[in-house]
Amino acid sequence: MVQIANENKTAYAILGLLNHEPLSGYDIRKRIDGSIGLFWDAGFGQIYPALKKLADKGLVEGKAEKSGGRPDKKIYRITEKGRKELEKWLVEPTAKEHVRYEILLKLFFGSLVDTERNIETIKEFRARYTGLLETLEGYERNLRLVLPKSQDHLYYLLTVRFGSHIYRAYLNWADEALEMLRNKATVPGDN
């Protein structure tokens, strides 16, 4: 056996962002927040060590940049070797989806708590995604405005549309679930 390849997907996410433009670790966090964070989040505790490793492997290069007043930035740019590595990963087979919904875990055991409590839990979920969907739709409107001028954003739009579909499904499920629980609550002789 040669080596069980170090398949750090978050490192590829960073590599992909750097392929578009040079960024500091701090900038990367902000970019993630406004784009891939929807389906692939990462904190500073992952980003800084990942950048260091990528630099060690020669996939990115970091340059310290003095900026009067503000703390110095370390701007990273992708290397030719990094681009090759990124392209190699992009055509490799894709891992299955990983999801973790604590709300469903609690709801699955919902018979142990008050129906009212479960209804509240779903209402909160519903409220949160109502707001998130609005934010997403703002992104989408902006993207559609620039799309005819540059098709660069087509793949970004694809992922935003994914979010839109999913969030709507969340809201539809929540409405349905609330109705099911309310009907249950009104059945006489029921706890």
Partner DNA sequence: GCCACCATGTAAACAGTTACATGATTAG
Partner DNA sequence: CTAATCATGTAACTGTTTACATGGTGGC
Q: Which of 107, 119, 133, 143 binds its own copies (CB under 8 A)?
A: 107
How many residues in total does the chain contain? 191
Binding string, residues 38-57; x marks residues near DNA by CB under 7 A:
---xxxxxx-xx-xx-----
CA geometry: angle 106, 110, 116, nearest 5 deg: 110
Residue 121 buriedness (CB in 10 A; 0-12 / 13-18 / 19+): middle
Residue 113 binds its own copies, judged by CB under 8 A: yes
**73 scored as a contact of DNA (CB under 7 A):** yes
Q: Does 185 bind its own copies (CB under 8 A)?
A: no
Shortest Cβ distance from residue 16 to DNA (Å)? Answer: 14
Residue by residue, DSSP assigns 8-52 as -HHHHHHHHHHHHS-B-HHHHHHHHHHTGGGT----HHHHHHHHH
Q: Which of residues 26, 61, 140, 159 is near its own copies by CB under 8 A?
A: 159
Three-state DSSP class for 73?
Answer: strand
State the residues that interact with DNA by CB under 7 A. Answer: 4, 6-10, 24-27, 30, 41-46, 48-49, 51-52, 67, 69-74, 98, 100
